[in-house]
Amino acid sequence: MARFVLLLVMVSVATFLLLELIPGDPVDGLLPEGATEEMRQQLIQLYGFDQSLVTRYVSWLGDLLHGDLGTSWQTRIPVATTIAERAPVSLELAVLAMALALAVAIPVGIYSAYRPGGIVDRIATFIASATLATPAFVLAIVLVWVFGVQLGWLPIVGWVPFSEDPFQHLRAVILPVISLAGGECVLFIRLLKGDMMATLQQDHVLSARARGLPTWRILVRHALRQSSFSLVTVSGVVIGRLIGGAVIVEMIFSIPGLGSLVVIAINNRDFITVQAIVLLSALIYLVLNSLVDLAYPLLDPRVRRATT
Amino acid sequence: MRVGRRLSRMVVALVAASTVAACGSSAAEPSGGSVPNDGTPRQGGELTMSRLGQLNSLDSALCSSSAYYICAALYGTLARYSFEDQKFEPAMAESFESADGKVWTLKLRSGTKFTDGTPYDAEAVAFNWERLKDPALLSFAGYWLSQMTWKVVDPLTLEITLASTNYQFPWALQYDLGSIGSPTAIKAKGEKFATEPVGAGPFVVDTWVPGSQIQLKRNPGYVEKGLPYLDRITYATVVQDDQRVNALRAGQVDLTATFLKRFGRELQPEGYGVHAIPLFGGTGLGFNLKDPIIADPDLRQALLHAFNAPQLTAAAYPGDEPPDAFFPKNSPYRDAAVTYPKFDLTEAQRLFDAYLAKTGKTSLDLEMLTYSPAPIMKQVGEVVAAQLNKINGLHVELKPTENAVISRLFREGKFQISVHASVISQSPVTVYRTLYTGGDLNVYGYSNPRVDTALDTTIHSTDANEVAEAWKVVGAEISKDVPNRLFAYEQDVILAAKHVHGVNPVTLYAASPELLWVDK
Amino acid sequence: MAGSGTAHLRASDDVVLDVRNLTVEYVGRRGERVFAVSDVSFDARRGETVGLVGESGCGKSSVAKAIMQLPPPTSGSVLVDGVEVTALKGSALRRRRDKLQMIFQDPISSLNPLRRVKDIIAEGLRIHGELSKGEIETRVRTIIERVGLDPDTAPDRRPHEFSGGQCQRISIARAMVLDPQVVICDEPVSALDVSVQAQIMNLLEEMKARYELTMVFIAHDLAVIKNLSDRVVVMYLGKICEVADSDALFAAPLHPYTRALIQSIPEPDPEAGIQEAALSGDLPSPSNPPSGCRFRTRCPRVQDICSREEPEIREAAPGRFAACHFPLLEAATAPEQGELASA
């Protein structure tokens, strides 16, 4: 716990300093064209850029501890309000994308390991090598072209909140989720297959077969859990990445999540918002990594003994 | 019209141009305003327009400049520029008149009410304008606010006094000063006004998914009789240009906007309405005339002769005509006799050698700024620098620089050459501010009495011929002095499905929402 | 040596395990063909323990796995209690599996680390059995006790909480609970501490007696086999060299390879081991075995014929089977002399 808090403090300092490193005076980027020097000075005062770095950090951190992420320089809306609106969207996408990626990767990974060189493995390997260098947004663009423009089955604009119309919401979610899941799925299959093949070499798997257990039971009950370490570790990283960083996919599908917010905030030089999102992403990573650490003993009781 | 907006325009234009270099279409440039008389407007119906920007605030102070389309819908605008008639017409205001271009009388329509029931009156206008002076609002209206005073004459009348004559003042009544929110709501809601706006415009918010789409419905109490035509209008954010056009083709949106000329070329033959809005200025090479080295006219001539516009156009803007003067070939303001110095490396070398001899130097190093966040801008800068470096003895070094730093260097006059966006506006006032001696956007330190006189005429005169003549002078002088060597003209294009009518293409890629109608 | 043939097989009603012409080939890492087991035949009577011995890499573990059908052999026949298991597929094979169990070398990796002991032992019963929950529980408890673990604490613990020897006890319980006819022990003690080895060996003996098991006991170390086995099969590079009853074989090996193996057993008398050149050189690659007799490259008695002709297994002396052109008959026929000579 102490380590967690220490990391948080370090992250907060790093986040704060990061923006200090950005070249130029933050006010310069904010000022509208043709703004007077007087207005510039007013803004400098308003946002406290005339104060020392330490003073500003302390006051920023103080506000932060009170849950105040500041007010957007651009929209004048509290940053916390905007993030609260957008975080659930990114979270939903991330969770659905993860679920889809895992739902595909687990059976395919298991089967590829069970029958290496079999048809499933060959198809998966082919797709993996074909898409290895393809970023998520290329998949997104292809999906939009096929399902949105050519077939017209799915919407390519507009985000309908679930509360408003669940069906339309799902329709709006499908393509972005597939785009996000695609690359991760390939990664998951590779990881799972590798670990699974190693597990299947172990004697207890042979023994399970020797005792006449059905194949599915051996693969799922005996081998999967033991082979999911890498998968769980990487899943933690991936879901963190998806929550905070589905930037391009969110931009392509115009999804009001954190990814598109950070782009707008950067474009508008709304650094107080950028700062908050960076901090939040770091926090999400920290929490997820801790959760992954907590998950290890559940996966393998031996870890519990090793760490305690 | 923040630097950022211009930058994003340049970048998008370049990216799109370079990625689709192969599909150069031979179709003619779309002509401006191809719609006007397209039938009798029909009441009812709805349409969806896709938009570039994500909308985070609906505050009248913020959106009037950067999200004009939504302000126009929620708050209306005091004045409305009619593209077809090339003049301003009353909108929320009943009239705006001036005998001398200096003292203006703004009359509001009687009985106009905000949707919270409070009166849309002179006091409300005055309150809104006063509010814009708050620097934290980052309003673009500063230029006007600093040179005007106003007083409330009676509940429906304001008297505005400008520091000097300016017949182009109505541009301010459409854009920077044009959107008026309910003072009661602004005071009562504080920060929440940004998400719960109260205006008197043709539409009101129905549902809003911040960052994605906003659905507006007709304001039955809108002051202009019979308007708006539509029952509903939805603005959906689609950040990517290709995606916006995809959505239009897929029938998911009815109206969209782009500043990529190629989409106009592509979609016009397919039967879509293509409404181009010609803009002043464009993207080009800016020179800091206050810099002791760049100040030398012979040196600048040398550089201009070394610049190979057709080569850059072919590389970065395939399909476009390389600019050869401040005004494009189809402009009525163009003085055919005066063009930019032509590409002539021998002449460039001769002038440069003469410059070296004159100054006793043996070689010269120059710096050229370009926007660093966009790799494509860096590439354009590299092409230009390589062209200039064909001159023996000259070394131009490209300095990719962050936007904020560039704005400061501009403000402080500390640069030599810059790849940058100049003017890019529908409003002549922006040209004035950019090229007039001491103008607030005049980053070049450019000063030419003939240009100043002509620019004065463009805002002082009400005689169309006189103004046109003055623009010719401006165009000719700028093409000769070249404080900014344009290498791409820019334009906004509104793309509309066949069933969309009443498109009044105004800048900031928006159509006047109250005039739109559909026959579907 | 190292030959094919079936001369050593016994025609008897009480043969429970009958392995004939077993061949295991697979494609190696570099795409080469590996001849792990070539035409191996042997049998085991009810209650008999057959020791299968040879250096590592000789194919003995491949024989074990092929008998277990994990995976099935490339060719050959495996009869368990008269049933041809290589012909069984899918669920028929799975149902038959409880007759044939295996105990692995590595006690740690042969137990699923994530499961509790009681589940590890009971799982086979649950899958196969028509037994009720209560019956399963009783049987699991009984077997845990019989293998020498505490039936009160052991069932709910997981393998990592036990020592290697205890894990091997769990493995034995897991096999025995299914009431098998044949148990294949693949080097079951070689990964254990010497002090524990004897305990496990004793336990296996005990189990064998109690359940009338037929055992195939695989080891690279003849010393381990010596006391336990009734009959010994010596393998070299995928082939059988010699088959004989345990006592006779140890007293007087017929095959030069068997003798070399026996000589490599550490003995108190230092002179005993240096009568003839001990085994030298490396094991040839099973993907490219020598022509003729596979042992010829390391055999002290090698002649021209050994590279041309593969020796078949034949009865070189009564009850003594060897695959060698030049068996050590002098030793077999005159054991006393040999002993005197060495004394």
Is residue C139 situated within a structural domain? no
Residue C246, domain member (yes or no): yes
Q: C111 at the A interface (CB within 8 A)?
A: yes
Domain total of chain C: 1
- Choosing from A35, A65, A95, the residue where a domain stops is A65
How many CB atoms sit inside 10 A of residue A237's CB?
13
Q: How confident is the model at residue A204 (pLDDT cuts 50, 70, 90)?
A: confident
| Contact residues on chain C for A212, CB-CB shorter than 8 A | 93-98, 124, 127-128
pLDDT band with cut points at 50, 70 and 90 for residue B131: very high
pLDDT at A308 over 70: no
**pLDDT range class, residue B152, cuts 50, 70, 90:** very high
pLDDT at position C296: 87
CB contact under 8 A, B142 and A254: no
Answer for the pair B69, B134: CB distance below 8 angstroms, yes or no. no
Residues of A (158-197) whose Cβ lies below 8 Å from B: 158-161, 164
Our count of domains for chain A comes to 2
- What does the pLDDT read at residue A222? 81
**Chains in contact with C, where contact requires at least 3 CB pairs less than 8 Å apart:** A
Q: Is residue C295 part of a domain?
A: yes
Q: Are strands B364-371 and B417-425 parallel, antiparallel or unpaired?
A: parallel
With respect to residue C315, please indicate whether it lies within any of the assigned structural domains.
yes
Residues B163-205 have pLDDT tens digits of 999 999 999 998 889 999 999 999 999 888 988 999 999 999 9
Q: Give B8's pLDDT tier (boundaries 50, 70, 90).
A: very low
Q: Which residues contact A114 (CB under 8 A, 6 or more apart)?
A: A196, A200, A215, A219
Q: Residue B225: how many CA atoms within 13 Å on its side-chain side?
A: 4
Contact A42 B246 (CB under 8 A): no
CATH of the domain at A115: 1.10.3720.10
Q: Are residues A155 and A195 in the same domain?
A: yes
| A214 and A300, same domain (yes or no) | yes
How far apart CA B250 and CA A149 sit, in angstroms, is 5
Which of C141 and B20 is assigned the larger pLDDT? C141
Assess whether A58 and A131 both reside in one domain. no
For residues A49 and A148, membership in a common domain is answered with no
Name chain B's partners: 3 or more CB pairs within 8 A: A
Q: Which pLDDT score, from 0 to 100, does residue C269 have?
A: 54
Q: Give yes or no for residue B7 having a pLDDT over 70.
A: no
B476 has a pLDDT exceeding 90: yes
The enclosing domain of C275 has a CATH number of 3.40.50.300
Tell me whether A45 touches chain B (CB under 8 Å).
no
Contact B488, B11 (CB under 8 A): no
On the 0-12 / 13-18 / 19+ scale of CB atoms within 10 A, B163 is exposed
Domain boundary among A16, A34, A65: A65
Judge whether C70 lies within some domain: yes
Pairing of strands C239-245, C75-80: unpaired
Higher pLDDT, B405 or B218: B218
- ipTM score here? 0.74
Q: Which residues pair with B217 in a beta bridge?
A: B204, B232
* Cα separation of the two ends of chain A: 15
What is the pTM (predicted TM-score) of this model? 0.74
Indicate if A292 and A257 belong to the same structural domain: yes
User: Within an 8 Å CB–CB cutoff, is residue A234 touching chain C?
Assistant: no
Residue C138 lies in a domain: no
Tell whether A140 and A38 lie within a shared domain: no
Does residue A44 share a domain with residue A161?
A: no
Tell me if C105 sits within 8 A of C185, measured CB to CB: no
Residues of C in contact with A298 (CB under 8 A): none
CA distance A298 to chain C (A): 9
Of A210, A217, A301, the CB nearest to C101: A210
CB-based contact C113 A213, cutoff 8 Å: no
Asked if C touches B (at least 3 Cβ pairs < 8 angstroms), the answer reads: no
* Any A CB within 8 A of C127 CB: yes
Q: Which letter does DSSP use for residue A148 in this model? A: I
- Chain B residues whose CB is inside 8 A of the A82 CB are 56, 210
Selecting from C70, C124, C178 the residue whose C-beta is nearest the C-beta of A206 gives C70
Kindly identify which residue of chain B lies nearest to residue A247, measuring between CA atoms.
Answer: B239
pLDDT of residue B95: 93
Q: Do C104 and A217 touch (CB under 8 A)?
A: no
Residue C147 has pLDDT above 80, yes or no: yes
Q: Would you say residue A70 lies in a domain?
A: no
pLDDT score of A295: 81
| B211 contacts A260? CB cut-off 8 A | yes
CB contact at 8 A, A127 and A186: yes
- pLDDT tens, A214-254? 888 888 888 888 888 888 888 888 888 887 667 888 888 87
Contact: A206, C104; criterion CB under 8 Å: yes
Q: Across the beta sheet with C15-27, what order do the strands follow?
A: C33-45, C15-27, C75-80, C83-84
Please judge whether C128 and A212 are an interchain contact, meaning their C-beta atoms are less than 8 angstroms apart: yes
- Among B101, B97, B160, B98, which Cα is nearest to B125's? B160
C324: in domain: yes
- Residue B317's pLDDT is 83
Task: Please tell me which residue, C190 or B483, carries the higher pLDDT value.
Answer: B483
The C-alpha angle with vertex B304 and arms to B300 and B309, in degrees rounded to 5, equals 160
Statement: residue B310 has pLDDT above 50: yes
Contact A206 C160 (CB under 8 A): no
**pLDDT attached to residue A307:** 46
Give the residue numbers spanning the domain of C321: 1-46+55-81+232-331
Burial of C281 (0-12, 13-18, 19+ CB in 10 A): exposed
Both A35 and A116 in one domain: the answer is: no
Say whether A143 sits in a helix, a strand or coil: helix
Chain A residues lying within 8 Å of B257, measured CB to CB: none
Residues A53 and A124 in one domain: no
- Which tops the pLDDT comparison, A29 or C285? C285
Classify residue C36 by burial, with Cβ atoms within 10 Å: 0-12, 13-18, 19+: buried
Using one digit for the tens of pLDDT, what is the confidence trace for C291-337?
A: 888 888 888 888 888 888 888 888 888 888 888 888 888 765 544 44
Q: How confident is the model at residue A186 (pLDDT cuts 50, 70, 90)?
A: confident
Domain of residue A251: give its range: 81-307
Residue from B15, B19, B56 whose CB has the most chain A CBs within 10 Å, to mutate = B56
Nearest by Cα to A179 from A229, A86, A270, A248: A248
Rounded CA separation C97/C129 (Å): 12
Half-sphere CA count of C129, side-chain side, radius 13 A: 18
Question: Quick check: is A71 in a domain?
Answer: no
Q: Where are the alpha helices (DSSP H) in chain C?
A: 60-68, 90-96, 117-128, 133-146, 164-176, 194-211, 222-228, 246-251, 256-263, 304-308, 329-333, 335-342
**Given this model, what pLDDT does residue C128 score?**
72
What mean pLDDT do residues A28-56 have?
81
- Is the CB of A210 inside 8 Å of chain C's CB atoms? yes
| C-beta atoms of A226 and C112 within 8 A | yes
Q: Mind telling me how many Å the CA of B161 is from chain A's nearest CA?
A: 20
pLDDT at B117: 93
Same domain, A172 and A231: yes
From chain A, the residues in CB contact with B2 under 8 A are 32-33
Taking alpha carbons only, the member of B388, B457, B379 closest to residue B416 is B388
User: Quick one: residue A132, left, alpha or beta (phi over 0 = left, psi -120 to 50 = alpha)?
Assistant: alpha
Please report how many Cα atoms fall inside a 13 Å half-sphere around the Cα of residue C20, on the Cβ side.
15
What percent of chain B is modeled with pLDDT above 70? 90
Interface test with B, best of A28, A157, A175, A251 (most B CBs within 10 A): A157
Using CB atoms, which chains have 3+ pairs under 8 A with A?
B, C
In a domain, A73, yes or no: no
User: How crowded is residue A66: how many other Cβ atoms within 10 Å of its Cβ?
Assistant: 8
Residue C153, domain member (yes or no): no
* Model confidence at C54: pLDDT above 90: no
A75 within domain boundaries: no
Mutate to test the interface with A, among B208, B407, B410 (most CBs of A within 10 A): B407
Percentage of the residues of chain B whose pLDDT score is greater than 90: 54
Same domain, residue pair A238 and A124:
yes
Residues 152-211 of C with CB under 8 A from A: 158, 160, 171, 174, 178
On whether any CB of chain B is under 8 Å from the CB of A43, the answer is: yes
pLDDT given for residue C342 in this prediction: 40
